[in-house]
Amino acid sequence: MTPQPPNPEPKKKKKSLSPILDQIVHGGSSVALNLIKMQTIAGDQALFRSPSLNKTVIFKYPNFDQQIADQPAAPPGGDKPAVADTAAKADRPIETAIYVPHDAAEIGSGGYAIYLRQRDFENLIKHHVGVDMGQISAAYERDVEILRTIDSIPSLDPFLLKSALSKHLSEIHPGYFQISDIEEAGIKTLIAGKVNPIVAKALGLTSATDVNERSARFLQALWDPTMPEAKLFVSAFGISGDQAQQIFEGWKGVSFYEHTFNRNKASTAKLLGWLNSADSIPIDIREFKHYKEQQDMFRLQIIKKLRNIVSNVSSIFGEYTVCHGKFMNDGDPKPFRQFLAGVYRRYWVLGYCSMAVLHASSIFDRFMQGAVQNKLTFEQCDEMLKRMDVSLSSQANVQGGL
C-alpha cells in the first residue's frame, strides 16, 4: 500500500493587529518614530544615549483607553496594567508613549507601551527599558530632556520634530528627520508669509526696511520662542510675556497644520467620496444581507466622525482667517488677541485631527490594495471600518468641542 502524504496543516489566519499596533506599524512618520530601524546610526549621533531607548518605537496616540497587548505591562511589584493617566492630562488629547516590542525584528508581534504622562512612569521605564530616571548623569538628563521635548509636540511630523529638537540638531543624525532641506524651507516660507504682515501691523512698522529687519528677528523667535522678540510681540497684544513661548509654539503649529491639511485635502475627499458611494457596498453583500443594515449604520457613523473632524479643522482655520482680517483690514486687535490666547490648545486639537485623518486615509489605501473593481468583501469592509472608528475617536471628537 502506497503511503499517503500527511494532511497539510490548515493555514493559520493571520492575526489582526490591535488598533494601537496598527498605528505603530502603519501610521507613518507623524505617528511613530521607529528607532529600531535606525540602530545602524553611530552612537554619538543616535537620538538617545541609552542603547535600550534606541531599541524602541516612540509613538503618539489619542488619549482614550486602549491596550497594546493582551497582557499589558505591570508596574514592578504590582498587578495593575500600565495605562495612560488620562484624567491628569485631559488638556492634551495626544499621548506620547514608548513601545518596547517583544521581538525587535517583528514589532507587530506585540509588546509593552509606557506612556510618558502615566502614573509610576519612572519605575516602568526602569523596569522595561532599563533606564533609571533617578540617575544624575549628563547622558540620562539629556535623554529625559529629549523625551519631554517630544512629548511637548502633538505629532511626530518631521518638520515639528526637527524644530522641537533644534537645540540638539548638531549631535543628532539627520536620518531621524525624514524631511528635505527644500521641503523644510518651503514650509518655513509659507509660515513666514502668514506671520510677517501681522508682525509689521502689531509693531506699527511702515518702511520696507523696518519690516524686513524687524520681521526677520520675529521669525527667528518663531523657531526659538525664548528670544526677547517673542515677549515683545505678545505684549503688543496685551498678553503677559510669560505666555510667549506657548503662544509662539501654538501659532507656528497652527500655521504648519494649515499647510498639512491643504496638502491632504484630496485624500480626505477621496475617502469620503468612497464611503458615500455605491462602491462601499461589499461585493459579497448577498451572503451577509442580514448584517447590511448594521454595517450601513456603522459606515454612516464613520462618515459623521470624519466630517466632524474636518468641520473642527475648518472652524479653527476659519476663525484664524477672520481674526487675521479684522486686525489687518479693520485695525481691530481684540479677535486676534483672543485667538492667540487659545492658540496652544488649538494647536493640539489640530495635531489630533491631522493624525486621525491621515491614519484613516492610510487604512483606506491599504485595504483598497486588495479591492476588486474598487469594492471590498464584507469582512474586509467591516475590519476597515473598525480600524477607522478607533482612529477617528477621541475626547476632542466625541465631545464635538474645541
Which of 83-87, 165-169, 181-185, 262-266 shows the lowest per-residue confidence on average (mean pLDDT)? 83-87
Instruction: Give me the numbers of helices (H) and strands (E) for the chain, helices first please.
Output: 14, 4
Task: Cell numbers for 133, please give them.
Answer: 530616571
DSSP labels, 123-151: HHHHHHT---TT--SHHHHHHHHHHHHHH
Task: Cell numbers for 198, please give them.
Answer: 501681522
Q: What per-residue confidence (pLDDT) applies to 223?
A: 79
DSSP labels, 177-212: S---HHHHHHHHHHHHHHHHHHHHHHTT--SHHHHH
User: What are the percentages of helix, strand and coil residues in the chain, rounded to 5?
Assistant: 60, 5, 35
What is the C-alpha to C-alpha distance for residues 217 and 206, in angstroms, rounded to an integer? 16
* 271-280: average pLDDT: 97
Look at residue 92 and tell me whether its pLDDT is greater than 80. no
DSSP type of residue 372: B
pTM here is 0.81
Look at residue 361 and tell me whether its pLDDT is greater than 70. yes
Most confident of 155-159, 182-186, 224-228: 155-159
Most confident of 4-8, 290-294, 359-363: 290-294
Look at residue 396 and tell me whether its pLDDT is greater than 80. no
Residues 305-342: tens digit of each pLDDT: 999 999 989 999 999 999 989 988 898 989 999 999 99
Look at residue 397 and tell me whether its pLDDT is greater than 50. no
What is the C-alpha to C-alpha distance for residues 35 and 41, in angstroms, rounded to an integer? 10
What is the C-alpha to C-alpha distance for residues 356 and 392, in angstroms, rounded to an integer? 5
Residues 22-74: tens digit of each pLDDT: 878 887 888 899 999 988 887 789 999 888 899 999 998 876 444 444 333 33
Q: What per-residue confidence (pLDDT) applies to 15?
A: 60
Look at residue 78 and tell me whether its pLDDT is greater than 60. no
Q: Which amino acid, 312?
A: N
Look at residue 364 and tell me whether its pLDDT is greater than 90. yes
Whether 33 contacts 57, CB under 8 Å:
yes
Residue corresponding to grid cell 506620547: 96
Q: What pLDDT band is residue 172 in, cutting at 50, 70 and 90?
A: very high
Q: Coil, strand, or helix at residue 243?
A: helix
Report CA-CA distances (Å) from 144 to 53, 127, 174, 240.
11, 16, 20, 29
User: CA torsion, points 119, 123, 128, 133, in degrees to nearest 10?
Assistant: 110
Between 156 and 14, name the one with better pLDDT: 156
Q: What per-residue confidence (pLDDT) applies to 394?
A: 57
Q: What pLDDT band is residue 84 in, cutting at 50, 70 and 90?
A: very low
* 157-178: average pLDDT: 90
* 361-370: average pLDDT: 93
Beta bridge partners, 62, equal 94
Q: Average pLDDT over the chain, rounded to whole? A: 81
* 101-117: average pLDDT: 86
Beta bridge partners, 57, equal 34, 99
